[in-house]
Structure 1
């Protein structure tokens, strides 16, 4: 039995690509985004780099409903009370999602594909989000104006065990300064409800923290909602969180949209349905089992 969740019940916002055309997923009419990030904490070696600068954000979107074909409409400011879902259009993301889908992919390659997909999604999510420092340094040929990521404000990475470990594997290579806190959930396969078995979150997060929550599969939404509620209890607002997932489905996105306005979700692809056992269809199977060969 397959439970169908019509995407038209989820109202999100589509961000325009730099080309000016709407970013439309071939699998689902949700959102996409482009990216960049610059590594390099050099405060100790370059004390003259002192002025901090807040992260920049794009300021215009196209408002739409998933009932439409996302035709071009007039631009309007980003709504701060609407959850946004981004499906980046990069061909490498499509490639690694395809490798993950293949039932013939062996465990080592599956794990590597998950890690590479996580690297790309975190790269996408970090655009216009990281605090930067501007200043001047001496290059071999002269004085140069420079901009670095501010290492005094590390990004918190929260992988949800087990499978989140692989998706977050390259976080430290993407982000110059990170702290990692682990959450472990198991899911009752009968009632499809999560049970927390490991919580390494701090009692209180510093103000202005930026948190990447990494969970490969957003299916029924029980686990990710429970994880975000733990973050909110520790002082994190919705707009301080970005969720990274390999595959998402409408039930989870609906719950997130209802409970966490202003949240941003970055996923490799959105699949249409979840079956009665809580698995995304077509999905990629049990991500934890395929990563660890169990």
Structure 2
């Protein structure tokens, strides 16, 4: 596992610039956290360094928040860490080792609802028209039910994160992917594939995986979507926690992809777990 060096560029007012990741208050909730991921020369896989002109140290991470506005290339992978306090709250509930299984699963579902809400901003197909209200004619805009959004949870833990998706999206289709990770090699194996033979042209797909750690599982899932007719820019990845190795791989392989995550943690250990992370999301969601 190679170490990676990450340069974070956040478009934040200087007075609000605080610390690493999602604690920065963005003026626009949909403003991206831009990642410039390049391999580092160090062989230590447990540390991540973030270089900049002005630095603040937080354990093994150094981060910088740039205030200048820069154009965002459509060919770059973008990572969004929405700064909503409820997102921070549910991530905190998930981190707590004392959180019991039912509350953990509910927290995962609530976090998924908020992340999908943020990810669907300016992305859903709509139709406009006029309707008769009780007091007059009103111009209206609806999400177009003729173009349902596809939701693809990666089993098992993805089921918990996507549990409330139907309460956010008026029209959805859910396709399940089962991908298991070998605990020794950390390589993914697909054991269930319920994707359609080919997604309709222009489909929009939410790919849901709570933990983006080493990147093997999510890369395999995106490749499967592409094999079934979905382009990078038609996919939005939803995760509870992400780490640099996974983001590195996604950035290299899938330009134009968008990732929405509750928080970015700096470390992946030798067993492929995110540190501090929140443990095994599947085990904690389902109590098995």
- For the criterion TM > 0.5, the same-fold answer is yes
Of 26-35 and 86-95, more deviation after overlay is shown by 26-35
1:22, distance to aligned residue in structure 2 (A): 9.5
1:93, distance to aligned residue in structure 2 (A): 0.3
Map Cα deviations across residues 184-212 of structure 1 (whole Å, 9 max, x no partner): 01111001001110000011000000000
Q: Which residue of 2 aligns with 1:253?
A: 247
Confirm whether residue 72 of structure 1 aligns to residue 67 of structure 2: yes
Q: CA RMSD in A?
A: 2.4
1:64, distance to aligned residue in structure 2 (A): 7.9
Q: Which residue of 2 aligns with 1:28?
A: 21
1:203 equivalent among 192, 197, 200? 197
CA distance in 2, matches of 1:282, 1:229: 28
Seen in structure 2, the aligned counterparts of structure 1 residues 216 and 197 have a Cα distance that, compared at 3 Å, is: same
Confirm whether residue 276 of structure 1 aligns to residue 266 of structure 2: no
Alignment of structure 1 residues 1-294 onto 2, 5 Å: 5-6=3-4, 9-10=5-6, 14=10, 16=11, 26-28=19-21, 34=29, 67-68=51-52, 69-76=64-71, 78-294=72-288
Q: 3-state SS of the aligned residue for 1:266?
A: strand
Unaligned runs of 5+ in 2: 37-49, 53-63
TM-score where L is the length of structure 1: 0.83
CA distance in 2, matches of 1:237, 1:174: 23
2:181–2:189 CA contact under 8 A, matched in 1: yes
2:22–2:82 CA contact under 8 A, matched in 1: no
CA distance in 2, matches of 1:12, 1:260: 19
1:21, distance to aligned residue in structure 2 (A): 6.4
1:12, distance to aligned residue in structure 2 (A): 6.5
CA distance in 2, matches of 1:234, 1:211: 12
Q: 3-state SS of the aligned residue for 2:139?
A: strand
1:88, distance to aligned residue in structure 2 (A): 0.3
1:80, distance to aligned residue in structure 2 (A): 1.2
Higher RCO, 1 vs 2 (CA within 8 Å, ≥6 residues apart): 1
Seen in structure 2, the aligned counterparts of structure 1 residues 179 and 63 have a Cα distance that, compared at 3 Å, is: closer
Map Cα deviations across residues 74-117 of structure 1 (whole Å, 9 max, x no partner): 342x3111000000000000000000000000000000000000
1:73, distance to aligned residue in structure 2 (A): 1.2
1:243, distance to aligned residue in structure 2 (A): 0.1
Seen in structure 2, the aligned counterparts of structure 1 residues 21 and 243 have a Cα distance that, compared at 3 Å, is: farther
Unaligned runs of 5+ in 1: 36-57
Q: Which residue of 1 aligns with 2:41?
A: none
